[in-house]
Amino acid sequence: MGNDWQTIISLAAEGGSIRLLGKEEHPGQWVFKKAVNEMDFHDLEDETIHPTESTEKAHTIKSPISNHDNEAISWEEAIKLLEPYPWPMLHPREVHPVFGKHVWIALQRLVKEKYSGRIDTYRFKKWARLCLPEYSPKIVILATWLQNSTHTTILTGAGMSTESNIPDFRSKAGWWNNIDPRTVATIDALQDNYDLFHEFYSTRINGLKECTPHIGHDILAAWEHKGLLQAIATQNVDGFHNAAGNKNVYELHGSIHKIRCENCAQYAHESDFFRKSNCKICGGKLRPGVVLFGEMLPEDSWRESLSHIQKSDLVIVIGTSLEVYPASQLPQMTNGKTVYINAEVDTTHHDFDLIIEGKAGEVLKQVDELV
């Protein structure tokens, strides 16, 4: 290990500078000290104020300044050495790469507790570049919004489950390529062409049996457990959110795993559906509990989803084209920030506050690393 002290955080302010220094005495074991110098101006000329801040001046250090060094033997103690100063609002000049995430976490905590709404965007982005250079600015922004949100709702669509390798039923048999699912997933098909309807949904159910939730589903379940996520409204019928561990899930299009009678709504076993058995209560046809084209959405799921959306500070839409009404209208029902994540994005999504192009699991994994 080297004997020289290294800069962990360097801050500039009008009238001086503040540095948190560190020395690795043993592998992974650091000691720290604070250095404050009211006459250290040698780097200040490149700390110009952003044009949008022309009416503001850099924050002046309010605490008494001296050359006395204070020491700490843990990171928790080290960051407390800076707390007498409004350091998140000062001009960051340097952050040690080993401590980038630690500094970011401490910054986020203080911004939330003491400086909410007071740190300007220019300075915030500069902190992000210094602390987290390996992450896209959009990922950093989303992680920050998520941490500071008091109520977050997520709306998911088919793209959320793509990474679970759900098989394309069209590839199972060539003749499916000539059939539009919108003509099969209907009340008319259920009543008038039950054999086709049955084979369509049997194929889908069997295809899901070999699939499991992916890391993105697991992350959303963990966020709910941590209190970062309050509800999921989903257009998917695969049940993966529940399987991953989420409790507050509202299935807008029903569940393919809940078999029921079309006539009396009595639930039945999946094996009864596969055998084309009739309802044991009324003799009606059995069907999956999904919303068919032309049917109304489940009233309870819609009402609860809308309620969560309306009181959300943050709504994150993942993996849906937003083409299916009325679920497509939900993101417009909030006064909070809105984020759109999808493998493909286009100009039709310009109304969102933040748009991130990428696969659901990959994007969520990056965000999760920062929260």
Residues with a catalytic annotation lie at 253
Instruction: Give the integer Cα–Cα distance in Å for 166 and 246.
Output: 20
- The dihedral built from the CA positions of residue 227, 357, 328 and 350, taken in this order, carries a sign that is positive
**Residue 48 burial by Cβ neighbours in a 10 Å radius (0-12, 13-18, 19+):** exposed
Assess contact for 178 and 286: CB atoms under 8 A. no
Assess contact for 130 and 100: CB atoms under 8 A. yes
**Residue 56 burial by Cβ neighbours in a 10 Å radius (0-12, 13-18, 19+):** exposed
CA distances from 186 to 192, 206, 273, 288, 369 (A): 10, 20, 17, 12, 42
Helix (H, G, I), strand (E, B) or coil at 56: coil
Residues 6+ apart with CB under 8 A from 153: 229, 230, 231, 232, 233, 305, 308, 309, 312, 314, 315, 316, 334
Instruction: Give the integer Cα–Cα distance in Å for 356 and 145.
Output: 14
